[in-house]
Amino acid sequence: MIPNQWYVILSSREVKHNKLIGVMRMGEKLIAWRNSSGSVAVFRDKCPHRGIQLSKGAILNDHLQCPFHGFEYATDGSCKLIPANGKATPVPGHIRASAFPVQEQNGFIYIFWSPVTADESPVPVKTEIPWFDDLDDSLLMSGMTDYWKAHYSRVIENQLDVVHVPFIHRTTIGRGIGPVVNGPFTVVHENGVSFWPQNEKDHGQTPLRSDQMKDKPNKDTYISFLFPNLWENHIMDKLRVVVAFAPVDEDNTILYLHIYQKMVTIPGLSHLFFWMTKLYNRIILHQDRRVVETHQPQATSLKMDENLISGDLPVVQYRKRREELKRESVG
């Protein structure tokens, strides 16, 4: 994982008031909870007193209470009460739960992730939460999740891969799409990469390289990726698909897929539209999952034992920027 980035780790709907949720993310046991005002907290799932899992505890008076000795923690991780010392005794400032900086936006829970302890965690320099400017409240949204036994980098790269579409998806989105890959026309920016797929039938022609494509294709369909783990398929102005790739550990990823649309807005009919669209997307995802889970090795890097071709340009650009961000994170 790339340190010191804002990662989507959960959907907002999963974190409910007065309910603790323990999850594995970034290879760590974490706990998320919401206080009565709606604020979300995410801690490492470990009490700083004796190392008990806080997810076995409870929410009491807007504090997270450890199940072992009753220590109580506020959403910022500060300890507010040590029962054995009595209410009148000040709590030592060094007793803190390991809390992450948290933002809740766009129906997701983001954490600023660093693999160090709370006291050593850097102040988030990059305060802007990654999101897509073309999404607004005019679109209805419905979500789903899917679980893959694959490293999150492989799952992301699968969504940046235009070469596989006519083969893996020959019965769905790849039906009728030719195997010859022009470009794709690719725009690299500080926070990610965008590209316009332009496959065609093989008539014996030589495909255009990206550097030969001077202008952006005149089409509404394009794909954008924002670091560290957000992807959008802009199918058309009235229909988009966004996926957050939440790293569970080195071998597993949870996909949070949100469908945005303003094609069908009548209540009831829109519910049916979302149901059918989610079913279709799940079929597509599982066509991919069957092969992505077989990658060897799972985690990717810029230099590895693979022979990439020109059509893999978005994957190459993703790997380059990922390596740059890793280097930047260590100074």
Q: From first to last of its 331 residues, what are the pLDDT tens digits of the chain?
A: 898 899 999 999 999 988 999 999 999 999 999 999 999 999 999 999 999 999 999 999 899 999 999 999 999 999 999 999 999 999 999 999 999 999 999 999 999 998 765 555 556 655 689 999 889 889 999 999 999 999 999 999 999 999 999 999 999 999 999 999 999 999 998 899 999 999 999 999 999 988 888 777 777 899 999 999 999 999 999 999 999 999 999 999 999 999 999 999 999 999 999 999 999 999 999 999 999 999 998 899 999 999 999 999 999 999 999 999 988 877 6
48 shares a domain with 146: no
What is the model's pLDDT at position 122?
Answer: 57
> 135, 107 in Cβ contact below 8 A?
no
Alpha-carbon distances, residue 295 vs 35, 56, 154, 223, 250 (angstroms): 41, 36, 8, 23, 13
Where among 85, 120, 155 does a domain terminate?
120
167 shares a domain with 258: yes
217 shares a domain with 310: yes
Give the predicted TM-score (pTM) of the model: 0.92
146 shares a domain with 30: no
183 shares a domain with 50: no
What is the model's pLDDT at position 190?
Answer: 83
184 shares a domain with 302: yes
Backbone dihedral angles phi then psi of residue 133, each to the nearest 5 degrees: -65, -25
How many domains does the chain fold into?
2
| 130 within some domain | no
Sign of CA dihedral 112, 117, 118, 120: negative
298 shares a domain with 178: yes
What is the model's pLDDT at position 213?
Answer: 82
Exposure pattern of 204-222 as b/e (b: 16+ CB <10 Å)?
Answer: eeebbebeebeeebeeeeb
109 shares a domain with 63: yes
Backbone dihedral angles phi then psi of residue 86, each to the nearest 5 degrees: 90, 150
| 72 within some domain | yes
Number of H helices, E strands in the chain: 4, 19
| 216 within some domain | yes
| 128 within some domain | no
106 contact partners, CB below 8 Å, separation of at least 6: 129, 131, 135
Task: Print the domain residue range for 21.
Answer: 5-120
What is the model's pLDDT at position 127?
Answer: 67
Where among 69, 85, 120 does a domain terminate?
120
308 shares a domain with 185: yes
313 shares a domain with 166: yes
196 shares a domain with 116: no
What is the model's pLDDT at position 120?
Answer: 53
**What is the separation of C-alpha 154 from the centre of its chain, rounded to a whole number of angstroms?**
13
104 shares a domain with 185: no
